[in-house]
């Protein structure tokens, strides 16, 4: 009767020392089995439980070794069970001193680290963003698979579209969404800025539609669009920055187009316009001489015409 009471007491000590929350050693070894090990092979069972806590539950190397991929936690249990079962052979049913038992327990922890590190690490996590709950690493602290630990906010994707053209934005993550009766999509908009600051966004629409369309963009459509998918909790936030451009033709370009339209036979000028070089000096002299000659002839004709008009025309 006393032996049973002592066993129950030590189970309580085990739970009290290690804690009511799950931990690395507690994920794979039941309190009853741990109590048998401590009462059978350790000189001071209370110290034994403290060693379990130190060498397994608070050992970062053990925690990291236990981060295996989805579906591989059973392999961790098999490894731990094999190591604990081998204790009977190693300890030979003789109670060890505290130092000896701690040394054996440390060797067991080291062997667990070495073997567990060989278990596949691959997960179903799809980077770079989204709260993915079912495909993360196994945690021997919580004794379950944790989330992937990726941020809710995805990187901003850039879109460029000209004025009056249409554009579409898709609100669909790369990972499968958790099963939920309704995954609501909330579209929000922050005008004229590229940002992920939540307080700058105003709501545009909400519902189950994963596509947001703009049939004819205008300059006021430019800014950041956010789509948040919510199931039982926020799942992911997807961002698009829409840059709206317009074609601006300068006055000089319009003048050049007009000049090109005047070229004969619709030919386009491929090179720069010809330079306007000054006329040669010979041409200037010829033009000036011609003008003087024309002026002289005009004056001569005028003189002859007046002289003829002054001559007498009557007869004797």
| Residue 193 binned pLDDT confidence (cut-offs 50, 70, 90) | very high
Q: Are strands 153-162 and 234-245 parallel, antiparallel or unpaired?
A: parallel
Question: How many other CB atoms are there within 10 angstroms of residue 43's CB atom?
Answer: 14
Which percentage of the chain shows pLDDT scores above 90?
34
Across 101-105, 150-154, 196-200, 309-313, least confident range: 309-313
pLDDT given at position 273 = 55
pTM (two decimals): 0.57
- 189 φ, ψ (degrees, to nearest 5): -145, 135
Is residue 256 helix, strand or coil? helix
pLDDT given at position 255 = 63
Residues 162 and 247: beta-carbon distance below 8 Å: yes
pLDDT digits (tens, 9 = 90+) for 13-35: 444 444 434 467 788 888 888 88
* CA quadruple 193, 195, 201, 204: dihedral, nearest 10: 70
pLDDT given at position 160 = 97
CA distance 93 to 97: 13
Residues 231 and 177: beta-carbon distance below 8 Å: yes
Q: In the predicted model, what is the mean pLDDT of the chain? A: 81
Classify burial at 133, counting beta carbons within 10 Å of its beta carbon; exposed 0-12, middle 13-18, buried 19 or more.
middle
Q: Are strands 184-191 and 144-145 parallel, antiparallel or unpaired?
A: unpaired
Q: Is the pLDDT of residue 86 over 90?
A: no
CA distance 27 to 75: 12
pLDDT digits (tens, 9 = 90+) for 201-256: 999 999 999 999 999 999 999 999 999 999 989 999 999 999 999 987 555 665 66
**Stretch 250-270: mean pLDDT:** 59
**Stretch 264-270: mean pLDDT:** 54
| Domain annotation for the chain: domains and CATH numbers | 2-116 (no CATH), 153-245 (2.60.40.10)
| Residue 274 binned pLDDT confidence (cut-offs 50, 70, 90) | low
Residues 136 and 149: beta-carbon distance below 8 Å: yes
- 228 φ, ψ (degrees, to nearest 5): -110, 125
Six token digits for residue 55: 């060498």
Which of 57 and 112 is assigned the larger pLDDT?
A: 112
**Stretch 165-179: mean pLDDT:** 92
pLDDT digits (tens, 9 = 90+) for 92-151: 766 778 888 888 889 989 999 999 999 998 888 899 999 987 778 888 888 888 888 899
| Residue 6 binned pLDDT confidence (cut-offs 50, 70, 90) | very low
Residues 168 and 190: beta-carbon distance below 8 Å: no
CA distance 291 to 68: 105
């Amino acid at each position: 009767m006393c032996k049973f009471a002592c066993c129950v007491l030590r189970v309580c000590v085990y739970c009290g020392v290690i804690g009511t929350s799950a931990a690395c050693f507690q994920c794979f070894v039941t309190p009853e089995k741990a109590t048998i090990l401590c009462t059978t092979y350790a000189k001071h069972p209370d110290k034994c439980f403290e060693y379990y806590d130190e060498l397994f539950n608070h050992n970062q190397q053990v925690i990291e070794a236990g981060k295996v991929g989805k579906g591989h936690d059973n392999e961790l249990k098999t490894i731990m069970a094999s190591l604990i079962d081998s204790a009977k052979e190693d300890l030979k049913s003789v109670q060890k001193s505290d130092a000896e038992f701690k040394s054996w327990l440390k060797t067991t922890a080291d062997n667990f680290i070495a073997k567990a590190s060989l278990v596949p690490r691959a997960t179903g996590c799809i980077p770079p963003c989204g709260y993915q709950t079912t495909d993360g690493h196994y945690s021997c602290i919580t004794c379950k698979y944790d989330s992937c630990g990726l941020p809710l906010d995805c990187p901003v994707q850039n879109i460029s579209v000209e004025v009056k053209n249409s554009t579409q934005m898709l609100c669909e993550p790369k990972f499968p969404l958790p099963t939920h009766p309704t995954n609501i999509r909330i579209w929000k908009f922050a005008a004229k800025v590229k940002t992920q600051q939540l307080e700058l966004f105003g709501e545009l629409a909400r519902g189950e539609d994963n596509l947001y369309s703009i049939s004819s963009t205008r300059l006021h459509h430019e800014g950041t669009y956010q789509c948040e998918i919510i199931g039982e909790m926020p799942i992911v936030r997807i961002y698009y920055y829409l840059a709206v451009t317009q074609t601006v033709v300068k006055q000089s370009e319009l003048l050049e187009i007009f000049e090109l339209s005047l070229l004969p036979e619709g030919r386009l000028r491929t090179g720069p316009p010809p330079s306007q070089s000054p006329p040669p000096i010979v041409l200037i002299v010829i033009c000036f001489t011609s003008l003087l000659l024309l002026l002289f002839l005009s004056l001569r004709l005028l003189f002859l015409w007046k002289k003829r008009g002054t001559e007498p025309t009557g007869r004797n």
